Structure 1
Amino acid sequence: MRRYLGIAFGLATHVLFAFTVWHLFWFLKGSPPGDARAAPIPLGTCLGIDAPLAAAFAVPHSIFLLPSVRRRLVAAGIPAPFYGCCYCLATCAALLLTIFCWQPTTVVAWRCVAPFDGMVTAAFAASWVALFYSLHLTGLGWQTGWTPWWHWARGLPQPKRKFVERGAYRFLRHPVYLSFLGLIWFAPVVTLDRVVLIALWSTYIFVGSVLKDGRLLHFLGDTYRDDLARVPGYPGVGFGPLGRVRPPIMLSRDAIEAARR
């Protein structure tokens, strides 16, 4: 019975993942502002609700990566092969909370006129392609928990994740983060609530990029140190921690072990 429940849990988690991606697509794509979609509350209240909702995604996404949290949850009863699925479940729940509770506004911060609006929409679609391509390079199954869960379901030993420099990773260190930036920035019409989303999620992405570099440097040592020196974090960035860097980055034990995810 426990095995059947474990299989059902893994499958249900990935159904939820697909459900979340579908709603995330339409949430980020947005729609032209109008009175019909505006929240029936004052503008300041809308933004006051949206700001913590935008920040809510970063909380489980960060906490679940901490090895100390993982150790406690595994000790509390979560089997190690299911931890990735639980991580995916928490992330999906946070995103769906943000999506379904979001308070849209009608105040336009900026608008792209033709033909630039079509170009921005095309760039949004291209960002989705780039996102799944980048996730494929690192292993989408590791992001959703499918890989360790699927090994458990087939009775195979748990695999070890490795860093392989290939594809887009030969030219930049964070193609997944760059693709996600495209998803939040490329909108032909940007309202004030979207500005809040862009500001908070962009900040989280850039800070997360620096912290991830530090974790990988400590975990992989010389292998990633060489990558830091040769490959910029983002295209055109030639300075700072997101450019080509050589100095070592010191982090806590939790941050080091989190790179194993």
Structure 2
Amino acid sequence: MRRPGLMLYGILCYIFFNIAFLYMAGFLLGIAVPKAINDGVPSDVTASLAINALLVFLFGFFHSLMARQWFKDRWTRLVSVEAERSTFVLQAAAFLTLLMLCWKPMPSVVWSVGGVWALAAYALFLTGLVTVLLSTFLIDHWELFGLRQVWAGNNGTPNPKPVFKTPLLYRFVRHPMQLGVIMVFFATPVMTAGHLFFAVSMTVYVFIGLYFEERSLVREFGATYRDYQRRVPMLFPNPFRMLPRRAQSA
């Protein structure tokens, strides 16, 4: 029996997340959004730090909590298995939106560059965005955002089992998506104290999240993933591993 409501739910969650992520791009660069990271009336630095830290904590806590298998096992008693990933995507978009709307500006300038360096910062930012998007499609964009699951649920067909693969960017780093996100966090021609706090705290969360994700991947794929860990760096490419063997031994 078809379940069109399930499919609509998955599509709406997908759209909401993409709007939130694209808004974050404008939020960080201060372009084409009603509220950017440096907008607003500055308040007491200690209060701003406390509020901003709480916002990052809420995003990271619920993002990590809902990604854990023990939580999924309990959560799917309330939410259908097919809607679980879409609900995860929904909460990520919701807490990211909350973070951006409630962020307190800390406008002290850490660095400011112009000319060719500003263009380089924008180019790095764009490279990060492209890296994130490409990484999702290299594995399974539709499964990652829950659309494959709701499609299967709508049609009454089983979801395919996860398959371990390392296409293109995944041959150089194990987590190119997170590398792209970090590039987006830091690549800006004007870095303020608030932006730097956002970039550093969110990057810390990325590493915490990767710690738990790596453990989950080892449990799921066993020796295959442990071998992958030995061969490929987690986050930052190793240029020596990219060289041909003869060049490395020369």
Q: Shared fold (TM-score greater than 0.5)?
A: yes
What are the within-5 Å matches in structure 2 for residues 109-188 of structure 1? 109-188=110-189
Counterpart code for 1:38 = G
Tell me which of 35, 38, 41 is aligned to 2:40: 38
Unaligned 5+ residue runs, structure 1? 239-261
**In structure 1, C-alpha distance between the alignment counterparts of 2:68 and 2:200, rounded to whole Å:** 25
Q: Deviations over 1:149-183 (max 9, x none)?
A: 11112232222122201111111111111011001
2:233 counterpart of 1:232: yes
C-alpha displacement of 1:134: 0.8
User: How far does the alpha carbon of each residue in 1:60-117 deviate from its partner, in whole angstroms, 9 at most, with x for none?
Assistant: 2100112221122211x31101100110111111100001111123211122232211
Secondary structure at the counterpart of residue 81 of structure 1: helix
- Report the 3-state secondary structure (helix = DSSP H, G, I; strand = E; otherwise coil) of the residue aligned with 1:57: helix
**2:87 maps to what in 1?**
86
Q: Deviation at 1:194?
A: 0.9
Give the counterpart letter for 1:10 in structure 2: G
Conserved? CA contact 1:124–1:182, under 8 Å = yes
Deviation at 1:195, TM superposition (A): 1.6
Contact between 2:89 and 2:146, CA under 8 Å: does it hold in 1?
A: yes
Q: Identify which range, 172-181 or 226-235, moves more after superposition.
A: 226-235
- CA distance in structure 1 between the aligned counterparts of 2:40 and 2:10, rounded to whole angstroms: 37
Contact 2:16 2:90 in 1 (8 A): yes
1:189 is displaced (CA, Å) by: 0.7
Once the 2 structures are TM-superposed, how far is the Cα of residue 206 of structure 1 from its aligned partner? 1.9
Shift of 1:125: 0.8
Task: Quote the offset at 1:47 in angstroms.
Answer: 2.2
Work out whether residues 184 and 198 of structure 1, in 8 Å CA contact, stay in contact via their aligned partners in 2.
yes
Amino acid at match of 2:30: G
Tell me how far 1:27 sits from its aligned partner.
1.4
Give the match's secondary structure for 1:11.
Answer: helix
Please give the alpha-carbon distance, in whole angstroms, between the structure 2 residues aligned to 1:210 and 1:74: 24
Deviation at 1:40, TM superposition (A): 4.6
Report how far residue 2 of structure 1 moved.
9.0
Shift of residue 228, structure 1, vs aligned partner: 1.3
Q: CA offset at residue 26 of structure 1?
A: 0.9
2:58 equivalent in structure 1: 56
Structural RMSD (CA): 2.2
TM, length-normalised to structure 2? 0.86
Of 174-183 and 111-120, deviating more is: 111-120
Maintained 8 Å contact 1:38/1:105: no
Which residue does 2:214 correspond to in 1? 213
| Residue in structure 1 matched with residue 200 of structure 2 by the alignment | 199
1:21 aligned partner = 21
Partner of 1:190: helix, strand, or coil?
strand
Q: Secondary structure at the match of 2:39?
A: coil
One-letter amino acid matched to 1:13: C
Name the CA distance, whole Å, in 1 between partners of 2:132 and 2:209: 16
The equivalent residue for 2:106 is: 105
2:247 match: none
1:191 and 1:45 mapped to 2: Cα distance? 17
Partner of 1:244: none
Give the CA deviation at 1:8: 2.6
1:236 shift after superposition: 5.0
Asked if 1 retains the 8 angstrom alpha-carbon contact of 2:89 and 2:145, the reply is yes
Contact 1:148 1:159 in 2 (8 A): no
Deviates more, 1:83-92 or 1:62-71: 62-71
Contact 2:42–2:106, Cα closer than 8 Å, also in 1: no
Q: Please identify which structure carries the higher helix content.
A: 2
* Equivalence for 1:255: none
Letter in 2 for 1:52: L
How far the C-alpha of 1:237 sits from its partner, in A, is: 5.8
Give the structure-1-normalised TM-score.
0.82
After superposing the two structures, state which structure 1 stretch, 225-234 or 169-178, moved more.
225-234
Alignment partner, residue 223 of structure 1: 224
